[in-house]
Amino acid sequence: MNIETLSTKKIDEKKQGNILEINSLEEGNKKLYIESYGCQMNFSDSEIIASILSKENYSTTKDINEADLVFVNTCSIREKAEQTVRKRLELYNSIKRTTNPSMVVGVLGCMAERLKEKFIEEEKLVDLVVGPDAYRDLPNLIKQVKDGRKAVNVFLSKEETYADIKPVRLSGNGITAFVSITRGCDNMCTFCVVPFTRGRERSRDPESIIKECEQLFSQGYKEVTLLGQNVDSYLWYGGGLKKDFKNIPEKHKKEAINFSKLLERVAKINRKLRIRFSTSNPQDMTDDVIASMKRYPNICNYIHLPLQSGSSRILKLMNRGYNREEYKSLIDRIKKEIPDCAISMDMISGFCTETDSDHQDTLDLMKYVRYDYGYMFKYSERPNTTAEKKYKDDVPEEKKQERLVEIINLQQTHSLENNKERIGKTYEVLIEGISKKSNSHFFGRTTHNCVAVFEKKNAKIGDYVNVKVHDCTAGTLKAKII
Ligand code: SAH
Ligand code: F3S
């Protein structure tokens, strides 16, 4: 296993709980087995899928051998993510041949959208190919398969937000939940396949978001993460696309709800409900979002702010919409308003034409920000993106790897140093579960998204407790309840 695999696996596990999520739900007489890969949005989508199918009398199972339906919710972001799915399909194939010949196999999500009918040609075992905007059609598509035909729906919508669907909470701890607020992405970063697989950006009706968060809180949930590819560009003015906003009457413009207004509305639900959000795009993050974070203590002091590269030349080639100086100035504004704000990043090593000096710019900017955490990747060329069409993937694999290792090492140093500065301090932690390493310990997170591990004492999962940090690693704070 090379470093990319290792780091990505670690990263994904941290980002979405588990790389391979097998979800379970009781009742219903037909069985659905669903695995999700990739971003948090995919995990959230699987909960929508389970909800749609629960109305068709499907309940989920962890045992693939008893499943009527076997779904894999896929990711296309890097080549490796797609290879993982192909490997899973090989396994499904052998299960179908041996222990469960009647199972129906469906591929959902970004790979389904990218490969469309081709998937069925390439993988004979696949019966269903369904893109991210077509999940409402699943009952019809399943019927089509039962009638003996393969089924494909990869229609991308400009409106679908699944706003009215109450997700079935599958993988949860009952304490933290994802709530999706936008779908799709209009940013067209030149390396990224998401705009092609998830379509145009659209915002979800705020009333349905508030209702979902209120219900979660009344069920005992204590933290919601508002999800979107680009949360800062959230905009609701009655359901229209963002690009048409400029044409609506002024009086309606004032009533529109942007991301900072949405944040405040969710924050007001209850001060014991924590709010996180992901992902912020530096080009869209506004000062009023920072102001809302400052105003409401239950909006966590943590921003995931992907950088991708520290070189202005590369950022321009990536079409990121900001340069090095603008990014630094955003960091300065955040730190000025919220000095205690934790910041994490995404970084790509070895993008087309990247030189040693561009790479040095990345390391240099990392030293400026001193991120608390990082999700770091080697550039992986994706079919049909602008980068694939216009630029040459000309940084040799060994160079990409070498630079990635340097980025990871520097990040490790910063994570450790930042955590060391937390020793001796006291933080409020929301308890999420029992520590993986010790049954007598809980784990939870601080507002900064730092994981803390501490002895249980009399506390219980879902409690807010104050803990004092006495030791740390780069990834964990060791603490005691005070
Ligand atoms: N919406 C988010 C990113 C979504 S994809 C944003 O605003 O940036 C998650 C991360 O995967 C990206 O931030 C990027 O670092 C990485 N990524 C996307 N496409 C990639 C590619 N072709 N090769 C390597 N990493 C990629
Ligand atoms: Fe991808 Fe850029 Fe959107 S990284 S998801 S195109 S913000």
CA-CA-CA-CA torsion sign (249, 254, 258, 262): negative
pLDDT above 50: residue 252: yes
Contacts of 196 (CB under 8 A, 6+ apart): 113, 114, 384, 385
Q: What is the average pLDDT score of the chain?
A: 92
pLDDT at res. 245: 82
* 84 CA to centre of ligand 2 in angstroms: 22
**Cβ-count burial 296-313 (b if 16+ within 10 Å, e if not):** bebbbbbbbbbbbbbbbb
Nearest-ligand number for the alpha carbon of 306 = 1
Ligand 2: does its nearest atom lie under 6 Å from the Cβ of 195?
A: yes
Q: Is cis: bond before 447, omega within 30 of 0?
A: no
CB–CB of 471/420 below 8 Å? no
- What confidence tens digit (pLDDT) does each residue in 279-327 have? 999 999 999 999 999 999 999 999 999 999 999 999 999 999 999 999 9
- What confidence tens digit (pLDDT) does each residue in 23-46 have? 444 456 899 999 999 999 999 999
CB–CB of 95/103 below 8 Å? yes
Ligand 1: does its nearest atom lie under 6 Å from the Cβ of 92?
A: no
Nearest-ligand number for the alpha carbon of 350 = 1
pLDDT above 80: residue 172: no
Ligand 2: does its nearest atom lie under 6 Å from the Cβ of 199?
A: no
pLDDT above 90: residue 255: no
Q: What share of the chain has pLDDT > 90, as a percent? A: 89
pLDDT above 90: residue 10: no
* 42 CA to centre of ligand 1 in angstroms: 14
**Which of 91-95, 171-175, 427-431 is the most confident on average?**
427-431
Tokens of 407: 């980025």
Ligand 2: does its nearest atom lie under 6 Å from the Cβ of 130?
A: no
Q: Supply the DSSP symbol for 147.
A: T
Contacts of 169 (CB under 8 A, 6+ apart): 47, 177
Tokens of 18: 């588990």
Domain limits, the chain = 30-153, 426-481
**Cβ-count burial 211-229 (b if 16+ within 10 Å, e if not):** ebbeebbeeebbbbbbbbb
Task: Choose among 448, 454, 376: nearest CA to 419.
Answer: 448
- Is domain 30-153 in CATH 3.40.50.12160, yes or no? yes
Cα 103 from Cα 65, distance rounded (Å): 8
Q: Whose CA is nearest to atom 18 of ligand 1?
A: 192
Ligand 1: does its nearest atom lie under 6 Å from the Cβ of 346?
A: yes
Q: What are the Cα distances from residue 472, in Å, to 33, 72, 448, 469?
A: 38, 37, 15, 8
Q: What is the mean pLDDT of residues 60-69?
A: 94
Nearest-ligand number for the alpha carbon of 229 = 1
> Which of 194, 348, 366, 411 to mutate for ligand 1's pocket (most ligand atoms within 8 Å of CB)?
348
* 183 CA to centre of ligand 2 in angstroms: 12
Band of residue 388 on the pLDDT scale cut at 50, 70, 90: very high
Q: Where are the beta strands (DSSP E) in 321-475?
A: 342-349, 373-378, 426-434, 441-445, 451-455, 464-472
Give the number of the atom of ligand 2 that is nearest the alpha carbon of residue 346: 4
pLDDT at res. 237: 87
Band of residue 106 on the pLDDT scale cut at 50, 70, 90: very high
Topology alike, domains 30-153 and 426-481? no
Give, rounded to a whole angstrom, the gap between the first and last alpha carbons of the chain: 42
pLDDT at res. 28: 62
* 270 CA to centre of ligand 1 in angstroms: 33
Ligand 1: does its nearest atom lie under 6 Å from the Cβ of 15?
A: no
Contacts of 254 (CB under 8 A, 6+ apart): none
Q: Supply the DSSP symbol for 243.
A: G
Bigger pLDDT: 28 vs 51? 51
- What confidence tens digit (pLDDT) does each residue in 367-379 have? 999 999 999 999 9
Ligand 1: does its nearest atom lie under 6 Å from the Cβ of 379?
A: yes
pLDDT above 60: residue 5: no
What is the signed CA dihedral for 32, 115, 194, 2, rounded to 10 degrees? 80
3-state secondary structure of 268: coil
Q: Whose CA is nearest to atom 15 of ligand 1?
A: 346
Tokens of 161: 């937000």
Ligand 1: does its nearest atom lie under 6 Å from the Cβ of 382?
A: yes
pLDDT at res. 78: 96
Q: Where are the beta strands (DSSP E) in 205-292?
A: 223-227, 235-236, 257-258, 274-278
3-state secondary structure of 175: coil
- What confidence tens digit (pLDDT) does each residue in 198-241 have? 999 999 999 999 999 999 999 999 999 999 999 999 999 877 77
Task: Choose among 114, 229, 115, 191: nearest CA to 377.
Answer: 191
> What is the assigned CATH class of domain 426-481?
mainly beta
pLDDT at res. 76: 97
Give the number of the atom of ligand 2 that is nearest the alpha carbon of residue 281: 7
The H or E element containing residue 360 is helix 356-369
Cα 203 from Cα 226, distance rounded (Å): 12
